[in-house]
Structure 1
Amino acid sequence: MGTDTAGRELEDIADEARAELVRAIEASGAFAGDPAWKAAFAAVPRHLFVPYYYVAGTAGYERRWGEHPDPAARERWVRGAYDDTPLATRMRDGELLSSSSQPSLMAMMLAELDVEEGHRVLEIGAGTGYNAALLAYRLGDAHVTTVDLDPEITESARQHLDAAGFHPAVVTGDGARGVPEHAPYDRIIATCTLPSIPHAWLGQCRPGGRILTPFATGVVVLTMRDDGQAEGRFLATPAYFVPLRGEGRPGREPPHLAGLPRRARESDLFRFLLALTRGSLDPEEAHALWEREGMPSRERYGLTVADGREWAWLDDPEGPYVWPLPESG
């Protein structure tokens, strides 16, 4: 069989797998907030953004790539590229440096971004470039900027975007500082988690704009106010992202949970509260609050950034349950 024929067959498999992915995302309800994103996911070829990726197995990570000499292995690669799962795309010494997020979570986050024609969007964390391609499909190349600290990541993202026919601005730099030369933005979306909201983002986002970012083990949607302050609540969904890498952002060890009831130790919602209040509440205090308030869901929590301060809260930003966050740059 000739190379051209094999290539056409692989593209046919990709088209079929992409259509199946779109159906899965639609069934999850992720498009409900903004159905126009369905066309973007149907059009943008995810496999071009993951020419190789790693799949965890019993013997460690298996590397799948599109240039594998075995046709069956290439088919596994392209079908896996359209699974509704996150894909590990860059590893170093066993540490995950970059990934392509779960498509249904991406779709939900993009829907919550509430974009409109003409909006300018800044993406923090270029990753593979796939999310930037979806944004560029919807809004146009000139309206999308994506930034990442690692020049290897930005270069590969740029190559992937070129291969797929998209040309948004791809910038190498510290995402915590934003990209002031392309500001102001109507929307800022992060695809990495961080311990506080960088003040630079607020200065680069228009009044009435939205900042959507992973935080703790959730996703918060902040609305910019005319006075330069921002506030908003968490979405219901859990979310686990690679931390933002840059100066002054070390990882933190999980708190010791020995002695707490099993239902708390194994609860995703309790671990969310622990992550949100780390440094303010110890695990016993967090557990007492969690039980007293009826094991609150993520939507009851929010963040406020105002007057040079940042705090998380339960139910009401004025209290009684408020927790200061670490100062950001």
Structure 2
Amino acid sequence: MGAHALHRDLDVVAAEERAALVHRIEASGAWADDPVWRDAFVAVPRHLFVPYYYVGVKGGYERRWGESPDPRTRERWVRGAYADAPLATRMRDGELVSSSSQPSLMAMMLAALEVEDGARVLEIGAGTGYNAALIAHRLGDDALVTTIDLEPEITEAARQHLAAAGYRPLVVTGDGARGVPERAPFDRIIATCTLASVPRAWLAQCAPGARILAPLATGLIALTVRDAGHAEGRFLHTPAYFVPLRGEGRPESEPARLGGVPSRARENELFRFLLELSRGSLDPQEAYQLWEREGCPQRERYGITVSDGREWAWLDDPEGPYAWPLGG
């Protein structure tokens, strides 16, 4: 009976913490443009998607898990599951390979995805399955949602978490850069991993007018797809840091050589964004001169165009003077 009471108390704590998280996200304005997402965050229990996670401690990481024999540890686990913070969920040799994103950033991205009733959605990067559950809840039809990840252990865990929470979107193990052609066409694609460039396979799997939202450089690009060979869009205002898309043809990036760039620029995250976006095309000194000349431009002034086999980033105007090939 004592164990049952403790379990019930944990459910109460989870409900209270989830309500507090929803309140924090609402206060941040993350879903102001599409408040329908509030219902999804109220309904989907995040703690079921993070049965364990890692928190940084001096000298490394500490594992918190929901099955700990210590009731205080279990309570810390469930409270931490509803923090408005990213949670490290999978480590390999001390390196983070998967995480559950910060909920307020997820909410902002989902609102920016502009999902409509009946939309077919592809998520690149299954993670814990939490984002797929939020999308499935919003659409009210699990069959409209597909999520893909390269790692079999990630997809298997995501399936289990989704089933435990009562959701059954299709979870695919495979290379996200190739999409999921057998489930096409998609009306929306959302990625939760950083791209080096826009995979051409995605455009071919999109319906005309589809929207793609993905982390690129240290920002979020929102593309409108015209057809299999054309897409264009601008970055959102917000910074975003995600693990890179793993799989086909994803080169490791080398650190930029910043000799001659003033420290005030090196430490400015908007300059770091430009540096990442122009990597392989502009050298850091050229990037700095552009950044200085244009008055430290915000992310919304940058965009990406994919057209007839070419792909380029630009400032202010796709056909303007400041444009360079994406990914070098």
For 2:79 and 2:228, the matched residues in 1 are separated by 48
For 2:68 and 2:288, the matched residues in 1 are separated by 50
> 2:2: which partner in 1?
2
Amino acid at match of 1:256: R
Amino acid at match of 1:262: S
For 1:219 and 1:226, the matched residues in 2 are separated by 21
> 1:171: which partner in 2?
172
Query: Is the CA contact (8 Å cut-off) linking 1:229 and 1:307 kept in structure 2?
Result: yes
Runs of 4+ aligned residues of structure 1 deviating over 4 Å after TM superposition are none
Superposed, which structure 2 residues align to 1:263-302 within 5 Å? 263-302=264-303
- Secondary structure in 1 aligned to 2:73? helix
Amino acid at match of 1:84: D
What runs of 5+ residues in structure 1 fail to find an aligned partner?
Answer: none
> 1:131: which partner in 2?
131
Query: Is the CA contact (8 Å cut-off) linking 1:207 and 1:228 kept in structure 2?
Result: no
The TM-score, its normalising length taken from structure 2, stands at 0.98
For 2:136 and 2:155, the matched residues in 1 are separated by 16
> 2:155: which partner in 1?
154
For 1:226 and 1:194, the matched residues in 2 are separated by 20
For 2:242 and 2:227, the matched residues in 1 are separated by 30
Amino acid at match of 1:259: G
For 2:326 and 2:262, the matched residues in 1 are separated by 27
For 1:87 and 1:253, the matched residues in 2 are separated by 26
Identity of aligned residues (%): 75
> 1:261: which partner in 2?
262
- Secondary structure in 1 aligned to 2:131? helix
- Secondary structure in 1 aligned to 2:56? strand
For 1:14 and 1:251, the matched residues in 2 are separated by 40
Distance 1:258 1:227, change over 3 A: closer
For 1:188 and 1:54, the matched residues in 2 are separated by 29
**How much does 1:227 deviate?**
6.7
Superposition RMSD on alpha carbons, in Å? 1.1
For 2:228 and 2:2, the matched residues in 1 are separated by 63
Query: Is the CA contact (8 Å cut-off) linking 2:271 and 2:291 kept in structure 1?
Result: yes
> 2:106: which partner in 1?
106
**How much does 1:226 deviate?**
4.5
1:218 matches 2:210: no
What runs of 5+ residues in structure 2 fail to find an aligned partner?
Answer: none
**How much does 1:2 deviate?**
1.9
How many residue pairs were aligned? 327
- Secondary structure in 2 aligned to 1:225? strand
For 1:231 and 1:272, the matched residues in 2 are separated by 19
Query: Is the CA contact (8 Å cut-off) linking 2:177 and 2:248 kept in structure 1?
Result: no
> 1:190: which partner in 2?
191
The TM-score, its normalising length taken from structure 1, stands at 0.98
